[in-house]
Every structure is written in C-alpha cells, then in structure tokens.
Amino acid sequence: MNEKDHKLSLSPKGRLELKKTVDAGQVRQSFSHGRSKVVAVEVRKKRSIQANFPSDSGGDGLLAEDLLHEADGGRDLTAREKASRLRALKEAQQRAEEETRRHTEEKETRRQAEEVETRRKAEKAAEALRTA
C-alpha cells in the first residue's frame, strides 16, 4: 500500500437532509434493547405575535411590543402582595436558620454520645486487662 492511495478529501459521503417535523402527531420511540413502538405526541401550533393596526370600528389596536410587555407581567405588585411576599421570605429564612441550628445540635449530641461510648469501651477494656 502506498501513502498516495489514502488521500484525504472533504467530499461528503452522503447527503445532508432536513427531515420534516412531526405533523401527524406520532413518532417512533426506540428502546436500547432493540424494541420500538409508535407513540402519540402533542403537536402545538407555533404562536406568533403580529402587530394589530387600528380598526375602523374605533377600537385602538395594540402593538406587538405592548402585548410582549403584558406577557412579562404587565403590572407591579400591590402593597399587600409585597408585604405577603416579604413575610413569606422572612418565614422561609427563619425556617432555614432553625433547620441549620437543629442540624448542628443533632450533630453535637451525636458526637457527645459517640464520645461517651468510646470512653465506656475504653474503661471496659481496661477493666478486662486488670482482671486478666
């Protein structure tokens, strides 16, 4: 074999294609062990926001930008909602602090119990040595 026989090229081996999206609502699901089955999937239409122009009926049309701003939230929180949210955040913070405090207390109690147990075992071993 010669080095010139194995020339590298950039020519593609196959064709690149774009497959059509799932319009029928069914796809083939293949499993790792070789089995496959057809499954129904939900197909949703893509929504697009188009600019509405003022109509002849006198109603003012909304622009697409206005619709986008409304979709983001559209309003500020009221004082009652702000207070409720602040109270909920404070309660969550207090619960987290209580949980960490309880966790450290449990850890300390566990450490003390282990310490007492090791001391008891050491005394028992020393007693066994004295009697032997």
In whole angstroms, what is the distance from residue 3 CA to residue 81 CA? 76
Mean pLDDT across the stretch 24-53? 81
What percentage of the chain carries pLDDT values higher than 90? 38
Position 44 pLDDT exceeds 90: no
- 5-23: pLDDT as tens digits: 667 777 767 777 776 665 6
Residue 16: count of CB within 10 angstroms of its CB = 5
Residue-range domain boundaries for the chain:
78-132
Position 56 pLDDT exceeds 60: no
For position 113, what pLDDT does the model report?
Answer: 96
Higher pLDDT, 42 or 114: 114
Residue 116: count of CB within 10 angstroms of its CB = 10
For position 124, what pLDDT does the model report?
Answer: 92
- 59-68: pLDDT as tens digits: 455 555 555 5
